[in-house]
Amino acid sequence: MVNIPGTVIGIMILFIGRKLFWLFVGSIGLLAGLTYAERFLGPREDVVILGVAVGIGILFATCAFFLKRIAVGLAGFTVGAYVTLHLVKTMGFQETQFTWLICLAGGVVGIALLAFLFDWAVIFLSSLFGAVLVIQSVALDPDIVPWAFFGMILLGFAAQARIMYSEPGMGGRRG
């Protein structure tokens, strides 16, 4: 089964996440809302969970426009924590009550990456996040998943770096 919206958004983030920073940050908020709304609100109807998730996504996207530094922190933390959780599950570790500590550490690393190496961090994290979204949205043979995952990360990173260096501006970018 293929989740078409997840696949399309994942591919967009994978290849142009830095250019569409608001989409990258908004989709992180949407995914965070879908992932955690039921944990915090308790069992609710799907429409309520979806409404909360969309609201969080819109809030994150709005922050990306108007409060970029806060959005960078939120995006870095959320992507770092989410990708860490995904890696913990993928590597076969059991989720325990201390999993949140590992995710917290991943979130702090995500913030640090975005704070010190903004463009490169956005490229790396959006490539990573886009690859996770695509992998989760498309049914693949489990033997192919690691190769597809790392291949998508490399492709997304290379494509976004090429786009960044073709832009005129500061930071040694060519015009």
Instruction: Give whole-number Cα distances, 91 to 70, 85, 86, in Å.
Output: 31, 10, 9
State mean pLDDT over 102-108.
Answer: 89
Q: Is residue 75 part of a domain?
A: yes
Look at the chain and report how many structural domains it folds into.
1
- Could you tell me the pLDDT band of residue 75, with boundaries at 50, 70 and 90? confident
DSSP string, the chain: ---HHHHHHHHHHHHHTTTTHHHHHHHHHHHHHHHHHHHHH-S--HHHHHHHHHHHHHHHHHHHHH-HHHHHHHHHHHHHHHHHHHHHHHTTPPP-TTHHHHHHHHHHHHHHHHHHSHHHHHHHHHHHHHHHHHHHHS---TTTHHHHHHHHHHHHHHHHHHHHHHS-SSTT---
pLDDT of residue 55: 92
Q: Is residue 175 part of a domain?
A: no
- pLDDT tens digits, one per residue of 138-156: 988 889 999 999 999 999 9
Contacts of 105 (CB under 8 A, 6+ apart): 84
Q: Is residue 160 part of a domain?
A: yes
**For residue 62, what are the domain limits?**
4-166
- pLDDT tens digits, one per residue of 7-54: 888 898 899 888 888 888 888 888 888 888 877 887 888 888 889 989
Confidence (pTM)? 0.69
Q: Is residue 174 part of a domain?
A: no
Q: Is residue 173 part of a domain?
A: no
Q: Is residue 37 part of a domain?
A: yes
Angle between the 118-137 and 145-166 helix axes, to the nearest 10 degrees? 140
Q: Is residue 63 part of a domain?
A: yes
Q: Which pair of tokens denotes residue 111?
A: 């913030």
pLDDT of residue 152: 95
Q: How confident is the prediction for the chain on average, in pLDDT? A: 84
Q: Is residue 171 part of a domain?
A: no
Give yes or no for residue 122 having a pLDDT over 60: yes
